Amino acid sequence: MEFVKFYEEVVSGRKRKRPTLKKIIRFCRKHGATLVICKLDRLARNVRVILDLLDSGIKFIVAEKPELDRYEILRQAVDDEKEGATIAERTSKGLQEAKRNGVELGKNGKVLAQRNKKKSEERMIELTPHFKQIRLDGFISEGQTLRQLVERRIPTPSGKGRWHLSTVHYAMTKIKTIEARQRKNVL
């Protein structure tokens, strides 16, 4: 099997509105490609999304369990949706319990948010020359930029971990916002 395109989506698998998934389906239809996903719950924790995908005519394989047929996939999707609901319920109960015990949720949220925003912007300003150079070298897409950042060993915004498409997208968007604000302040 030859892999022709990789996608990474940052939207929760519990959501039905999935722009990246729509792109994937369009790509698979256009090229007659088979969608390969690592685990079914990474694709969706929503039975309707799985059913829509099954009914779309797109072939897909769950790498973790390639032997699954349509009905086993649906059974797994029901279990995954139930597990997602259970996780959400446990989280909600945990937050409610914390409130009852006097924990003030978000107590320092605004202060921390401002501090983190400033730190993030400072880091993005440090990264800007790297992104500009990558663009000047002819690498325009987020995927190309991702590969260049890894090859050039440019640290991520946090300074830890690996670059992902979502991190590249965030950084490029943030840099554009900062540059636009700087241009506006100059005028």
What domains are there in the chain, each with its CATH number? 1-105 (3.40.50), 109-186 (no CATH)
Q: Which two tokens stand for residue 174?
A: 């943030």
The residue with greater pLDDT, 126 or 2, is 126
Tens digits of residue pLDDT in 133-172: 999 999 989 999 999 999 999 999 888 888 999 889 989 9
Are the C-beta atoms of 32 and 103 separated by less than 8 Å? no
Checking if the pLDDT of 1 tops 70, the result is no
Question: By CB neighbour count within 10 A (0-12 exposed, 13-18 middle, 19+ buried), where does 41 fall?
Answer: buried
Which residues does 9 contact at the CB level (< 8 Å), separation at least 6?
18, 20, 21
Tens digits of residue pLDDT in 43-58: 888 898 889 888 888 8
Q: How far apart are CA 5 and CA 26, in angstroms?
A: 12
Q: Comparing C-alpha atoms, which of 134, 126, 184 is closest to residue 155? A: 126
Checking if the pLDDT of 187 tops 70, the result is no
**DSSP conformation class of 105:** T
What was the pLDDT predicted at 82? 93
Tens digits of residue pLDDT in 76-133: 999 999 998 999 899 999 988 888 887 777 767 677 778 888 888 899 999 999 999 9
Q: Which two tokens stand for residue 98?
A: 């914390």
Q: Is the dihedral of CA 37, 38, 41, 42 positive or negative?
A: negative
Q: How far apart are CA 26 and CA 32, in angstroms?
A: 10
The residue-averaged pLDDT of 68-73 equals 91
